[in-house]
Amino acid sequence: MRKVFRSLLIASLLTVPTIRAEILELPAGDPAATLDVPSRGMSQAAVARRYGEPLRRHAPVGGGSPQQPPITRWDYDGWSVFYENNTVVDVVVKDAPAPVHNVDALRAAP
């Protein structure tokens, strides 16, 4: 019995694991680049002038120290703007995948 167990153990260790790969389909560009949305660095006043009043203004979060400035979010129809203090730091388009960075580093499957 011991020999059978040892043989099965050795056989299982010597088998080659199956390698599997999938094709990754990348979205065509940044969705925020195709929409007219605020750009990084705009002020809250400039955003309000250009895009009007948001559907909802969220209260600032954080701001307890210079390393953690207050972050504010304004929601528009289909996208949200995030501010650090009074400056746009990001725009998030709803139901859109996050942009993929370093696409040039990806290689096609052989």
> Would residue 5 count as lying in a domain?
no
- Mean pLDDT, 10 residues at a time, the chain of 110 residues: 72 68 64 77 96 95 88 95 95 78 68
> Would residue 13 count as lying in a domain?
no
CA–CA separation, 53 and 76 (whole Å): 8
Cβ–Cβ under 8 Å, residues 73 and 80: yes
> Would residue 12 count as lying in a domain?
no
Indicate which CATH number applies to the domain containing 86.
3.30.1450
Residue 37: give the domain boundaries: 30-98
CA–CA separation, 105 and 32 (whole Å): 22
> Would residue 52 count as lying in a domain?
yes
> Would residue 67 count as lying in a domain?
yes
The pLDDT score that the predictor gives to residue 94 is: 85
The pLDDT score that the predictor gives to residue 47 is: 97
Domain count, the chain: 1
